[in-house]
Structure 1
Amino acid sequence: MEITVVEGDITSQEVDVLVNAANEQLAHGGGVAAAFVRSGGASIQEESDAWVAEHGPVPYGEAAVTGAGTLHARWIVHVVGPRYRGDGSDAGHLTVAVVAALDKSVELGAISVAMPAISAGIFGYPPEEATAVIVESVRHWADQHPGTVLDEVCLVGFSPEIAGAFHNAL
């Protein structure tokens, strides 16, 4: 499995799965979640609302799936990253979110995934730390799944700072 880094807008990535850094209610009002709805259309929020109505809030360590609206992807996999506390639990919680996204992507049969710097935006996780945890989590997951159908995980930095942090972590 190849791990790549790109700087830019995750909504323009052409992949099977776009990973969304969501909140538990899948209320896509800010950050990358809002960008998905702005670019991909209201159906993303509508499907998210329906998911929460049926299943309840997205539990820690799990992933919700919706269509990708008009984006160049088949699905959006929504995971809830940690709100940064600096208490030592953050890395473990972020790893669980990354693993949930990758596991769900494979369950869907995805070959390619684009993942943002989960929790490094409005959830306050320091970008250098978050990107290092994400890269390590993806690498460890790949080592544990050598025959995976997943071919590429593209780590998308929305700014030069985030993309650079992903590159440094690789």
Structure 2
Amino acid sequence: MQIQAVRGDITREAVDAIVNAANSSLLGGGGVDGAIHAAAGPELLAECRELRRTRLPDGLPVGEAVTTGAGNLPCRWVIHTVGPNAHRGQTDPALLRACFAHSLDEAARVGARTVAMPAVSAGVYGWAAQDVARVAVEAVRSWFGEVDLVRFVLFSPAVLATFEGELNGTPGHAPP
């Protein structure tokens, strides 16, 4: 599997699936979640509402993942995962690792061979970018399945540098 880190807008990625750093309601929010819902259009929200009505009446649990169509996005699927919120005391790296592993499980389940992922939990959920990069890269490298490419798509130069450092084996040498 090839693993990349790029600076960009995940809603513009021409891959099979993108990962959404969702909140448990699946009904949109801020940051990556809000951008994905806005770019995907009303079809995505309708699918998420149906998931809540049928399979996930209490919302998506932290660390789990679920797949929907992508609406108007250039990808085929959106894989929603709920990252742990450090501000709420959710600081177990295993929960964060589960987000990346379960997202890849979902990608394999639907047949996605190329996947774009954000830095789940590194924004308003309060995790340090260095911790997210370390856990994410380790989770992806240790995952076994039928995915050819994982591209970490990162919004800021500092977070990109942190992921690049982790991928290149020089963690801690990138800006925080």
Counterpart pick for 2:122 among 95, 120, 123: 120
For 1:18 and 1:107, locate their aligned partners in 2 and report how far apart those are by CA, in whole Å: 14
List aligned pairs for 1:78-117, cutoff 5 A: 78-85=80-87, 89-117=91-119
Contact residue 51 and residue 64 of structure 1 kept, 8 A: no
Task: Name the SS for the 2:26 alignment partner.
Answer: coil
Alpha-carbon shift at residue 59 of structure 1 (Å): 2.5
Determine which structure has greater relative contact order: mean sequence separation of CA pairs < 8 Å that are 6+ residues apart, divided by chain length: 1
Aligned partners of 2:133 and 2:162 also within 8 Å: yes
User: C-alpha separation between the residues in 1 aligned to 2:157 and 2:23?
Assistant: 25
Equivalent residue for 1:137? 139
Does residue 157 (structure 1) correspond to residue 154 (structure 2)? The answer is yes
Report the secondary structure of 1:93's partner residue.
Answer: helix
**Corresponding letter in the other structure for 2:156:** S
Paired letter, 2:81 = V
Q: RMSD in angstroms over aligned alpha carbons?
A: 1.6
Q: TM-score, normalised by structure 1?
A: 0.91
Structure 2 match to 1:41: 41
SS of the aligned residue for 2:86 comes to: coil
Note the residue ranges of structure 2 that are not aligned, 5 or more in a row.
168-176
Report the CA distance between 1:149 and its aligned residue: 2.3
Which residue of structure 1 aligns with residue 4 of structure 2? 4
Distance 1:86 1:131 in 2: 20
Q: Among the aligned pairs, what percent are the same residue? A: 40
2:163 aligned to 161, 166, 169, which one? Answer: 166
* TM-aligned CA distance change 1:85 to 1:29, over 3 Å: closer
How many angstroms does 1:121 deviate by? Answer: 1.0
Shift of 1:60: 3.4
Alignment TM-score, normalising by the size of structure 2 = 0.88
Letter in 2 for 1:83: N
Decide which moves more: 57-66 or 3-12. 57-66
Q: Aligned with 2:121: secondary structure?
A: coil
1:27 Cα offset (Å):
2.3
**Deviation at residue 38 of structure 1 after TM alignment:** 1.4
Q: Deviations over 1:129-167 (max 9, x none)?
A: 1111111111111xxx2xx32100001111101111110
After superposing the two structures, state which structure 1 stretch, 128-137 or 59-68, moved more: 59-68
Compared with structure 1, are the counterparts of its residues 22 and 88 closer, same or farther at alpha carbon in structure 2 (3 Å cutoff)? closer
CA contact (8 A) 1:99 1:138 kept: yes
